[in-house]
């Protein structure tokens, strides 16, 4: 196994973002482990940048926290200078640039960015640890459970879902996927974002 793969899988993670009709959902598992030993069951992988923009960071837990702090700092500078929030597309470019800056000693994270852009059009994207973007119109996944998440999302996703259907779909996809990956799980954390509100929900999953 590649040395880099071992680091990415060290803490375990499952992360997924999905698009609905003028809304999006982003969800993660809650387990923090050291390989097969579980350390915490309330670990946060999804971070709010502003009311319509969220960032999920899979990979090494310590790098995720460091990267989140750096990106939050850069966004606050942008708010001070521009007197407005960053668009999701702009933020994705910022994340990509920050990661590529450190390409010779990268942050061991795979980010997932989800937000509502102009006219409340949902935007989702993911990238690798050196900032190569992958845009999608339906869903993006990351983490050690990404293979099973691809399968679950592929079979469950329907275009133009409302926020309740979207919550149901992303929750079922996440819970059924982490059951097939021993490095992630212990419940889930879901944010559903519409133009008017942000709903946060905690999912109970298998605790083994």
Decide if pLDDT at 30 tops 90: yes
Q: What is the pTM of this model?
A: 0.94
Name the phi and psi angles at 191, rounded to 5. -115, 130
Decide if pLDDT at 208 tops 90: no
Lowest mean pLDDT among 3-17, 19-33, 123-137, 144-158: 3-17
The span from the CA of 152 to the CA of 199, in Å, is 23
Strands 32-34 and 37-40: antiparallel
Q: HSE (CB half, 13 Å, CA atoms) of 8?
A: 19
User: Tell me, what's the pLDDT at 206?
Assistant: 85
The span from the CA of 132 to the CA of 33, in Å, is 27
The span from the CA of 136 to the CA of 140, in Å, is 7
Query: Average pLDDT of 82-90?
Result: 95
User: Tell me, what's the pLDDT at 1?
Assistant: 61
Contacts of 188 (CB under 8 A, 6+ apart): 27, 28, 29, 30, 171, 174, 175, 178, 202, 203, 205
User: Tell me, what's the pLDDT at 78?
Assistant: 97
User: Tell me, what's the pLDDT at 141?
Assistant: 96
pLDDT category of residue 207 using cuts at 50, 70 and 90 = confident
Query: Average pLDDT of 71-83?
Result: 96
The span from the CA of 201 to the CA of 205, in Å, is 13
User: Tell me, what's the pLDDT at 205?
Assistant: 87
What tens digit of pLDDT does each residue of 117-158 get? 988 999 999 999 999 999 999 999 999 999 999 999 999 999
| Average model confidence (pLDDT) across the chain | 94
SS (H, E, C) the chain: CCHHHHHHCCCCCEEEEEEECCEEEEEEECCEEECCEEEECCCCCEEEEECCEEEEEEECHHHHHHHHHHHHHHHHHHHHHHCCCCCHHHHHHHHHHHHHHCCCCCCCEEEEEEEECHHHCEEEEEECCCCCEEEECCEEEEECCHHHHHHHHHHHCCCCCCHHHHHHHHHHHHHHHHCCCCCCCCCEEEEEECCCCEEEEEECCCCC
Query: Average pLDDT of 94-106?
Result: 96
User: Tell me, what's the pLDDT at 4?
Assistant: 66
pLDDT category of residue 5 using cuts at 50, 70 and 90 = confident
């Amino acid at each position: 196994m590649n040395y880099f793969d071992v680091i990415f899988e060290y803490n375990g993670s499952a992360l997924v973002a999905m698009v609905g009709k003028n809304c999006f959902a982003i969800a993660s598992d809650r387990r923090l482990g050291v390989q097969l030993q579980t350390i915490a069951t309330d670990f946060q992988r999804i971070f709010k940048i502003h009311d319509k923009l969220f960032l999920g960071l899979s990979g090494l837990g310590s790098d995720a926290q460091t990267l989140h702090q750096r990106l939050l700092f850069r966004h606050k500078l942008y708010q001070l200078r521009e007197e407005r929030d960053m668009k999701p597309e702009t933020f994705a470019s910022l994340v990509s640039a920050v990661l590529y800056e450190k390409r010779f000693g990268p942050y061991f994270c795979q980010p997932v960015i989800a937000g509502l852009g102009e006219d409340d059009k949902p935007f989702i994207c993911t990238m690798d640890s050196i900032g190569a973007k992958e845009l999608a119109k339906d869903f993006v996944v990351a983490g050690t459970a990404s293979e099973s998440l691809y399968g679950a999302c592929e079979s469950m996703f329907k275009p133009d879902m409302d926020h309740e259907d979207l919550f149901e779909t992303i929750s079922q996809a996440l819970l059924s996927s982490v059951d097939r990956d021993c490095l992630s799980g212990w419940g889930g954390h879901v944010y559903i974002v519409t133009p008017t509100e942000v709903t946060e929900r905690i999912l109970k999953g298998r605790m083994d």
